């Protein structure tokens, strides 16, 4: 049996659960999937998800709040990119389990 010293503290698991809840949406998973490959604008992500830009902005805002993403302005455009390196592993798990 694993010793208690090696277990992750419950407050950290609570924080993890909150961030995993944020990921638990098909549009957010698609956005993460895309952003792991390149950086995109809100409009590009919205088009790929077939949702209005304001909805894509809300999804991005939630994921930024968890520290998953960052944004960078270039002129009038804002580009989003993944900053959390562990998302690559999470998406590999999701894709290997649920992709045809």
**Are 74 and 42 spatial neighbours (Cβ–Cβ below 8 Å)?**
no
Its pTM stands at: 0.89
Whole-angstrom CA distances from 38 to 15, 21, 41, 90 are 27, 24, 10, 17
- Distance (Å, whole) CA 80 – CA 68: 10
Structural domains of the chain in order of their starting residue, each with its CATH number: 24-90 (1.10.10.10)
**Chunked in runs of 10, what are the mean pLDDT values of the chain (100 residues)?**
77 95 97 98 98 98 96 96 96 94
Token pair, residue 60, equals 């991005």
């Amino acid at each position: 049996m694993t010793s208690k010293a090696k277990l992750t503290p419950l407050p950290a698991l609570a924080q993890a659960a909150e961030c995993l809840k944020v990921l638990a949406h098909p549009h957010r998973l698609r956005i993460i999937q895309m952003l792991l490959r390149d950086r995109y604008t809100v409009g590009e992500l919205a088009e790929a998800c077939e949702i209005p830009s304001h909805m894509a902005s809300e999804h991005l805002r939630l994921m930024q709040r968890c520290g998953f993403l960052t944004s960078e302005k270039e002129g009038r455009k804002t580009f989003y990119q993944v900053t959390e390196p562990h998302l690559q592993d999470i998406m590999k798990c999701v894709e290997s389990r649920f992709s045809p």
